[in-house]
Amino acid sequence: MNEPQFDKKLAIPRSAWLGGLLWAAPVEPGLYGDGYLEGVLITTNHKSSVARFCSAAEENPIGILAIDASGLSPKAAVAFDLIKEQDVQRALDLLPDSMRRDIGRVLIPLSLTMALGSQNLLKDFPVQTIPDHLDLLGEYISDPALNTTPNKTTQMQAITQRLLAGFRLWMGQVLVFTIPLLIFGWHSLFWGTICLLLGTIAVSLFWRILPHTGSFRGFVAGFILALILGSTLFLAGSADWRTIIRYSLSIWIDTAWMGIVLTGVRQK
């Protein structure tokens, strides 16, 4: 994970809603905003999120601290375990002393509170939980007394968030895959897209129980899917072994690829 940089002034990014929605859209981790900081708002280094928070906080002395989460949105980053409470604490610790002394509060968007465990590492700072909804952000940022009740993380919420984030990234990959697959015919496009979707669902559903970390999960999930598909076709006796191998290989590669995609991208 890239540590946030504080030795240079970072330009506020322009929102890229489509890129931020269908692809991981990373910006440089660090502090966005300048001058006196009355508070620091924590978010991931997701381009649209940083732009959105900067826009909401532009009339307030609030800095936006972007933490490296592979360019995924806060919700997606939390769902895929790409950001943890220790990352937030480490980023705050890296702030220059002059800034740390003056920080009156740390603003945590509701979506990120799911990443804050029970360790309460942020006890040195007054934490204000703010909503993610754009219309309410300005009001909460202006008034430190307002606070939103943090969500209590449930397994079902995390799975739902992973499925939603996975589905968005799947749509982005469909755009990338369409023309190359279409070169080989409609059947290739159809089956390739379905395999990508099945891989996305499998990796998203079983993210936390799959072994190892990062993109290796996709590799493992794909292998299991390929075994299941191959065994089913073999037992059904509806295809010869070459067809079984092709189908299994296809779903394995697709799922492994989605495992890579779901871990986000590097900024540089």
Partner 1 sequence: MNSQLRLSTQTALGIFVALLLGYINQGFSQGEITGPVETPNLPKTSTPTPSVLPTTLPLTTTVETLAPPRPFETLPGVWMVQVVAYPDSHPIIVDVSKLSSGRLTSSQIGDSHVRILDAEGIVIYELGFQPSFHLFDVPASVDEMTYFFIIPDLENVNWLQVLTPQGEAKYEFPFDE
Contacts with partner 1 by CB under 8 A lie at 1-2, 23-26, 70-71, 173, 176-177, 180-188, 191-192, 195, 213-216, 240-243, 246-247, 249-250, 253-254, 257, 260-261, 263-268
For partner 1, the closer of residues 103 and 262 by Cβ is 262
For partner 1, the closer of residues 32 and 191 by Cβ is 191
Q: Cα–Cα distance between 166 and 171 in angstroms, integer?
A: 9
260 phi, psi to nearest 5 deg: -65, -45
User: Are 57 and 143 a contacting pair, CB within 8 Å?
Assistant: no
Q: Cα–Cα distance between 205 and 213 in angstroms, integer?
A: 15
- The gap from C-alpha 187 to its chain's centroid, in whole angstroms, comes to 32
For partner 1, the closer of residues 55 and 215 by Cβ is 215
Q: Cα–Cα distance between 255 and 202 in angstroms, integer?
A: 8
CA distances to 40, 155, 171, 173, 184 from 180, rounded to whole Å, are 44, 37, 15, 12, 7
For partner 1, the closer of residues 8 and 212 by Cβ is 212
- Least Cβ distance, residue 157 to partner 1 (angstroms): 25
Label residue 109 exposed, middle or buried (CB < 10 Å: 0-12, 13-18, 19+): buried
For partner 1, the closer of residues 26 and 63 by Cβ is 26
- Least Cβ distance, residue 122 to partner 1 (angstroms): 25
Q: Cα–Cα distance between 93 and 263 in angstroms, integer?
A: 25
Which residues have CB under 8 Å from 203's CB, separation 6+?
166, 210, 217, 218, 221, 255, 258, 259, 262
Dihedral (CA of 24, 12, 139, 42) sign: positive
- Least Cβ distance, residue 233 to partner 1 (angstroms): 12
For partner 1, the closer of residues 40 and 244 by Cβ is 244
Per-residue b/e over 130-163, b at no fewer than 16 CB within 10 Å? Answer: bebeeeebeebbeeeeeebeeeeeeeeebbebbb
For partner 1, the closer of residues 36 and 186 by Cβ is 186
- Least Cβ distance, residue 78 to partner 1 (angstroms): 17
